[in-house]
Amino acid sequence: MMYWQHPIRDSRCNVAAAGKYVPTEREQAFRDTIENPKYDRESINGLKPFFDDKAPDDIKGFYSKDELAALLALKGTERDVEDRMPVKMTRHFYDLALTSIPLQRLVKANPDETLNLAGSEDPGHQMDFAPVEGLLHKYEMGLLYAVSTCSAHCRFCYREELISQKEVERQDGTVAKKGLAKIPEVTDYIKAHNKIVEANGGRHPETGREKLREVLLSGGDPMALPNRKIGAWMGALAEAGVESIRLGTKEMSFHPKRFDEAFLAMMDNFHETYPDIGFRLMIHFNHPDEFLLKGDDGEYLQNPNGSLMWHPDTKKAIEGVTSRGWINVENQAPIIREINDDADALRIMQRALYRVGVNNHYFFCGRDIVAYRHFNVPIEKVWNLLNESQKGLSGVESHARLSITHYKGKTEVAAVTNEPIPGVPGTENGVLIFKILRNALGATRMPSGSMTTKIASSTMRPACSTTQEWTRSESKSTKKRWKPR
């Protein structure tokens, strides 16, 4: 495996040991405006309430007796589904799932999840790019593990190792749970990195990286935190010199009432205090059943003009954020087997989201998480699904791109074919062409460009992510060759 030594581990970065963080006067003034209400999500945690027949009466039937018996039989074994990924669900999502099989599959534990536990404890080798605990710095953007839980848990979660607090082997050989980011360590690192970049003419002398200009608050779901903690992160990042902040959340689906007046007032005060800081809200809808209303016949309800009706709580939450022109709202989601591997559902979702001011950003192929074979869809099927879903959409509705995880960095799938390329050996079963948008292994060592890989028989590749399924083999050709392990 190729590893990248981050410059923070070099003493020349001289990042001080984290002490108590002291906000600036401006920052403290912003913090003092934050209201901190409590939110009752009525979450059901774990399978125990169902095993013990102590779940709320109207929710007890979410699992059948046969399903509970099968799950209970796995308790304490290596196939225990809760050891792989904790079970959690909100009342709002339960109400939606009552009339939606895809939503049930999104949160319901299934014994088949653990039939095959192949996969990586650290998908994408994220820990190779953690200069300080809880911060991933791959490109010009950093990602923070701000929290290790969500209001509910997707069974296919890409961060299952963080949510379930599994021990992960680090680059240096140590084994430990993934820790959460802390404001002093992260802001010290950002300032130190950007100081080196500025002194070197705009590029880091070792990696070629530019300024760390954007940070994504992630986890877990930052919207599971109280407003004061979210605001503390935002103010500290603004003072550290970032240009933009993103917040990734599925709370718009799990508990849309979280986007209330107190949250919106905090955002308004942040923008007033830091008007030059961009903000992107990255929401996560997998399926239109998460926000559209259905009739008794199972069909989506329509407004008088023919557009589809939104759930009132979700509509209010979306309107609250999109009405603030300085907040960019974008949706991104993986395409998961038996949840949203449906071109019609994807088409409806893209059209409905864009109509209310939400941009369609990325769809993802599944990562090589532990037990990925239960969830992932082959690349060529995902490619065809997305293309089919965008037929009938306008140009502005169909901006979503398809991305895959790859050890070379951020990639976008450009073309997939099951047909051979005449005269090119090794392409008998088809070709995948993807663009390398950003390279995590060193900005100066490889510019963005295209890469072509041959595709093995689709029956050999139940997963999407190439990081687990493929290894690079040497070739004198300019094209990269790949072979199954």
Domain boundary assignment for the chain: 19-37+117-293+302-484, 44-114
pLDDT for 418 equals 81
Return the half-sphere exposure (C-beta side, CA atoms, 13 A cut-off) of residue 274: 26
Q: How is residue 230 written in tokens? A: 């979210």
Residues in CB range of 483: below 8 A, 6 or more apart: 456, 470, 471, 473
Nearest-angstrom CA–CA distance, 404 and 463: 11
Q: How far apart are CA 234 and CA 228, in angstroms?
A: 10
Each residue's pLDDT tens digit, 300-353: 999 999 999 999 999 999 999 999 999 999 999 999 999 999 999 999 999 999
Candidates 355, 290, 297, 295; CA nearest to 329 is 355
Q: Cα separation of 358 and 356, whole Å?
A: 6
If phi > 0 it is left, if psi is from -120 to 50 it is alpha, else beta; for residue 26 that is: alpha
- Which of 135-139, 384-388, 415-419 has the weakest average pLDDT? 415-419
- Please, what sign has the CA dihedral across residues 195, 197, 200, 204? positive
End-to-end CA distance of the chain: 14
Q: What is the pTM of this model?
A: 0.88
Kindly report which listed range (71-85, 158-172, 320-334) carries the lowest average pLDDT score.
158-172
Long-range contacts made by residues 7-13, C-beta under 8 angstroms, separation at least 24? 7/131, 7/193, 7/196, 7/204, 7/206, 7/207, 8/131, 8/132, 8/137, 8/189, 8/192, 8/193, 9/131, 10/206, 13/189, 13/192, 13/193, 13/196
pLDDT recorded at residue 450? 57
pLDDT in tens, 275-290: 999 999 999 999 999 9
Lowest mean pLDDT segment, chosen from 141-150, 242-251, 294-303, 437-446: 437-446
Residue 282: per-residue pLDDT: 98
SS3 label, residue 168: strand
Q: What CATH number labels 19-37+117-293+302-484?
A: 3.20.20.70
